[in-house]
Amino acid sequence: MTLLQRIAPSDALRRSHTLIDPQTLDGAAEIVDDVRRGGEAALRRVSERLGDLRTDDAGSALVLDPAAMRRLAASVASDDRALLERTAERIRAFAQRQREALTSIETTVPGGRAGHLIAPMEAAGCYAPGGRYPLPSSVLMTAVTARVAGVRTVVVASPRPAPITAAAAMVAGADLMLTIGGAQAVAAMAYGVSVPRCDIIVGPGNRWVTAAKKIVQGDAAIDMLAGPSELLVLADDTAEASWIAADLLAQAEHDTDAVPTLVTTSARLADDVESELERQLASLPTGATARAALANGCCVVCESLEQAIGVSDRIAPEHLQIMTRDARGVLARLRHFGAAFVGSRSAEIFGDYGVGPNHVLPTSGTSRFSAGLSVLHFLRVRTWLEMDEGPSLDGVVRDAARLARLEGLEAHARSAEKRLAP
């Protein structure tokens, strides 16, 4: 039995993964409503029931301020703290270049001037998973980006935060840290329970976090609804099988729901990757998790590079590694992906750990209509209009009034006509 199920290109086009199951959505809705209605008392009750908080004094703090974060992070080695700071700086530098590309504008319009102003949101909630492993990288990816955008108040939420997570929050410049996770943490940030109400909630999480983000959307902005993590490797016969296997296993060890996929034009390469997966799994400490995740993925052998590109675009993966001849040329032909890693040396792992671009990305095919986290998520574009006095305005007035009457809105027409030059 193969580790990666070998399927035909036509079958790959029909594969889909459920983002949120109805049972989780219903359960999350109950938690969110309980916290929204019951405030901090409900938040504590739910968090204690789900194991995020203990009833003893040592584990009862819902929120950590910077001083408390500093105490929790005191045990972090100086070398690890320096690593966090280097990573944060790389993320910050890339985000700053993104921010510089987004500018306010002013232009002339008939009868006056118009433009837009770009302003940050006031408060952001940044979620970082903390279940099987602490994920300080997610703290940096979300909170640093929010700060670069100009967000005034940054709240980090992570269940039972490890010292390294608290250290990452400090390096990122977070104002507060919620020590709980799941749907209850999302609800707390969305409705201002124990922390300031957040205008946007971002960051990866499990199905309960995703369900809660869907529920609160409208009361707060969200970055995206993300499902299990995905990697698609698009490879031809020039790719190295051992590298591909290592990259697929790096994705697979995230958790048993991860989705590793190989799309290739070479049947020989597919066979070699299968052999390498078995060989590398034998010594992988997280092998049990990775082996289970491989069952979610597949291997698609295509007749041509064009067909392989079509399969990739239909899947629209979160992470896309391009390991082909002329990888940059192939990139130009691809339409749908969360983040692309171009060339054999550009392993997805470098995106995970802060070379620059953000690692919070759309999954489950949603890269067809959404994008990875960036400073743009934390910014609002606000338009303005300033009209002149005098005859230059008359043409616009008459057009507006006529259009209003076509829609049956007489008061609109009269409002415009008040501005006609005497």
Active site residues: 318-319
Task: Provide the 10 A C-beta neighbour count for residue 302.
Answer: 22
For helices 182-191 and 22-49, give the axis angle rounded to 10 degrees.
80
Q: What CA–CA distance (Å, rounded) separates 376 from 409? A: 36
**How would you class 111 by CB atoms within 10 Å of its CB: exposed for 0-12, middle for 13-18, buried for 19 or more?**
buried
Which residue from 198, 218, 88 is spatially nearest to 151, judged by alpha carbons? 198
Q: What is the DSSP string of 181-240?
A: -HHHHHHHHHHTSSSPPPSEEE----HHHHHHHHHHBTTBEES----S-EEEEEE-TTS-
Structure tokens at 273: 């990757």
Name the DSSP class of 6. E
Residue 106 one-letter amino acid: E
Residue 302's closest CA among 15, 14, 12?
12
3-state helix, strand, coil in the chain (%, to 5): 50, 15, 35
Beta strand segments in 296-422, E: 298-301, 319-323, 339-342, 379-387
